[in-house]
Amino acid sequence: MSQRISRAYKITKTFLTYGLDEIIPARWLPWSLRIGRYALFWMPNKHKQKPAGERLRLALESLGPVWVKFGQMLSTRRDLLPPDIALELAKLQDKVRAFPGEQAQQLIEKALGLAHIDEAFDDFSVQPLASASIAQVHTARLKQGDDAGADVVIKVIRPDIRADIDADLRLMETLAGVLARHLPDGRRLKPKEVVKEYRKTLLDELDLLREAGNAIQLKRNFENSPLLYIPTVYSDFSRHNVMVMERIDGIPVSDVDTLMAMGVNMKILAERGVEVFFTQVFRDSFFHADMHPGNIFVSRENPDNPSYLGIDFGIVGTLNREDKRYLAENFLAFFNRDYRKVAELHVDSGWVPAHINVEEFESAIRTVCEPIFNKPLAEISFGHVLVNLFNTARRFEMEVQPQLVLLQKTLLYVEGLGRTLYPQLDLWQTAKPFLEKWMKEQLGWRAVVRSIQENAPFWAEKLPEMPTLLYDYLKSQRPQALARQQILAQMREAQQLQSQKIGWAALTCGLIISTTILYVTAQPLWLVASTAAAAILSSIALWRRKSS
């Protein structure tokens, strides 16, 4: 608890000493926070001379990787932020303050068991090529093996970073618990589940062996593809905190001026960015979930037919079959303006409670989405659209899906990328043909053929066993049939016996009642005695039936 309080104090102090409270419009701050700001008078703004964007960048950078990641995501949202702030936050993508190169060299030598870096690499550069929130990279050349002489980059995890991440995550978990209990939308927004998912992805990013595996998988998925090139990972030189991979020569996707000067076809480039995203999500169910501009480059070859180069695969996302199908159907219904279908899919998938009025939900979705169709990205204010969609979600009790958080973040990156490269891009028309083709492959005759092809090895393996299995099955059916016949005969006999018992019981009760009535009404003694004798004989017969 003391660590959480200490970290919360540091975050508050950092925000106030960098004057970030002055960036927030006063009308957005409740009176309690304004009074709290005056109470913390010993934490004045020490950076008044710096622009707001620089203050925000420095504050996030000083708080560590969790906050840097947040700044990276914000940097792609040029429509939500003033241009000066967005440009300053973009520096967080690959210009985070580096740690000493000599320390990085020592970490590499220790991880690879080298007495000196020269044993495995030539021309190791102590000056880092780039520095990000989790790690930094250095250039070198391989000295050993079949790839000797290849230019490589060596990625090294920052030292002692785990403690800072754990402290921030614990604080976020505490805040998420408070929000879940006290916010009216706490149950629907699922803050604890979202933080849990974020914890997993962030800690996965600290394991470079996992990142190496992700890179190898993505490279295999896009082998010989004109859309995306993934550099080769040298697994023999990779460890949990060190990874060695091929050095690529590309233009940062955010360097629009250079791309334009080289004559790159920006329309095709933007469309291919959308295609890469949907291919990863719907074809492979394995997508690069950290596609901010610092991790995406453009090949210098074939500017008329450009392709992407990707790096940094620490965060990847996956989707199960059901979520993928619901997403594809939602996208298609949305592109076709079939808002009724969108509403029904949300109810069917459980994302919206079943008691919600579908007609009202359909109307609300139409109100938000219809105005943005047939418009290029340059004319769409996604800030307003997102606010309206959030209000709609709250009104109809739509629950946050933690497994889709990475996908939503990646979609924001892709949309921000398209806005930067080619503002006239029609996002809907670019994605719709791809999704239609995918749906046909999943639900049409192609899906049947593919299923047969996928299961053919299994059936080929089992086919020689089929005659034996069929013979054993038929052989086992005869004794089973005889056993069933015996059981049925026993059931019929028991049913007949039960019917007889019921009949004798009814007769006995009737005779007893008749004897009583005859005796009470003073009938002749011989009549009462004969009726009583009949009742006694009937009860004896019933007793014998029960004992049998």
Model pLDDT for residues 248-277, shown as the tens digit of each residue: 989 998 888 999 999 999 989 988 888 898
Q: Which two tokens stand for residue 282?
A: 């719907």
Q: How confident is the model at residue 371 (pLDDT cuts 50, 70, 90)?
A: confident
Q: Is 298 annotated as a binding residue?
A: no
Higher pLDDT, 525 or 398: 398
Q: Are residues 258 and 350 located together in one domain of the fold?
A: yes
Q: Is 52 annotated as a binding residue?
A: no
| Residue 76: pLDDT over 90 | no
| Residue 125: pLDDT over 90 | yes
| Residue 120: pLDDT over 80 | yes
What is the predicted pLDDT for the residue at 383?
47
What is the predicted pLDDT for the residue at 61?
82
Question: What φ, ψ does residue 194 adopt, rounded to 5°?
Answer: -65, -45
Q: Which 8-state DSSP code applies to residue 284?
A: I
Q: How confident is the model at residue 222 (pLDDT cuts 50, 70, 90)?
A: very high
Q: Are residues 138 and 76 located together in one domain of the fold?
A: no
Higher pLDDT, 462 or 58: 58
Mean predicted confidence (pLDDT) in 17-25:
68
387, 416, 443 - which closes a domain? 443
247, 262, 283 - which closes a domain? 247
Q: Is 254 annotated as a binding residue?
A: no
What is the predicted pLDDT for the residue at 110?
94
| Residue 170: pLDDT over 50 | yes
SS3 (DSSP) at 141: strand
What is the predicted pLDDT for the residue at 16?
75
Mean predicted confidence (pLDDT) in 493-506:
67
Question: What φ, ψ does residue 383 adopt, rounded to 5°?
Answer: -60, -50
Structural domain of residue 455, as residue ranges?
Answer: 448-545
Size of the chain, expressed as the number of residues it contains: 548
Q: Which 8-state DSSP code applies to residue 238?
A: -
Q: Are residues 191 and 142 located together in one domain of the fold?
A: yes
Residue among 21, 168, 290, 426 flagged as catalytic: 290
Mean predicted confidence (pLDDT) in 146-167:
87
Q: Is 219 annotated as a binding residue?
A: no
Q: Residue 388 and residue 432: Cα distance in Å, rounded?
A: 23
Least confident of 262-266, 303-307, 392-396: 392-396
Q: Are residues 224 and 265 located together in one domain of the fold?
A: no
Mean predicted confidence (pLDDT) in 149-171:
86
Q: Is 86 annotated as a binding residue?
A: no
Q: Is 387 annotated as a binding residue?
A: no
Q: Are residues 176 and 210 located together in one domain of the fold?
A: yes
Q: Are residues 256 and 394 located together in one domain of the fold?
A: yes
Q: How confident is the model at residue 399 (pLDDT cuts 50, 70, 90)?
A: low
pLDDT, tens digit, for every residue of 436-472? 777 777 665 665 666 666 666 766 776 777 777 776 7
Most confident region among 154-158, 331-335, 426-430 by mean pLDDT: 154-158
What is the predicted pLDDT for the residue at 109?
94
Best CA proximity match to 143, nearest among 111, 105, 106, 116? 116
CA-to-CA separations, 108 to 101, 146, 189, 272, in angstroms, rounded? 10, 21, 42, 37
What is the predicted pLDDT for the residue at 144?
80
Residue 81: which residues within 8 A CB-CB, separation 6 or more?
74, 89
Mean predicted confidence (pLDDT) in 383-390:
55
Q: Are residues 360 and 326 located together in one domain of the fold?
A: yes
Q: How confident is the model at residue 35 (pLDDT cuts 50, 70, 90)?
A: low
What is the predicted pLDDT for the residue at 244?
95
| Residue 148: pLDDT over 80 | yes
For residue 312, indicate whether it is catalytic: no
Q: Are residues 110 and 220 located together in one domain of the fold?
A: yes
Best CA proximity match to 153, nearest among 48, 88, 233? 233
Q: Are residues 536 and 501 located together in one domain of the fold?
A: yes
Q: Are residues 352 and 255 located together in one domain of the fold?
A: yes
43, 65, 94 - which closes a domain? 94
pTM: 0.68
| Residue 102: pLDDT over 90 | yes
Q: Are residues 42 and 66 located together in one domain of the fold?
A: yes
What is the predicted pLDDT for the residue at 264?
92
Most confident region among 226-240, 274-288, 528-542 by mean pLDDT: 226-240
For the chain, give the mean pLDDT: 77
Q: Is 133 annotated as a binding residue?
A: yes
Q: Are residues 465 and 406 located together in one domain of the fold?
A: no
Dmax (CA) of the chain? 130
Q: Is 512 annotated as a binding residue?
A: no
| Residue 211: pLDDT over 90 | yes
Mean predicted confidence (pLDDT) in 284-291:
86
Least confident of 23-27, 408-412, 431-435: 23-27
Q: Residue 71 and residue 55: Cα distance in Å, rounded?
A: 12
Residue with tokens 């690069």: 288
Mean predicted confidence (pLDDT) in 527-546:
61
Residue 180: which residues within 8 A CB-CB, separation 6 or more?
186, 187, 189, 190, 191, 192
Q: Is 134 annotated as a binding residue?
A: yes
Mean predicted confidence (pLDDT) in 203-223:
92
Least confident of 47-56, 327-336, 513-522: 513-522
Q: Is 155 annotated as a binding residue?
A: yes
| Residue 212: pLDDT over 90 | yes
Q: Which 8-state DSSP code applies to residue 287?
A: E
Domain count, the chain: 4
Task: Give the Cα-Cα-Cα angle 433, 338, 414 (nearest 5 degrees).
Answer: 45
| Residue 357: pLDDT over 90 | no
Q: How confident is the model at residue 180 (pLDDT cuts 50, 70, 90)?
A: confident
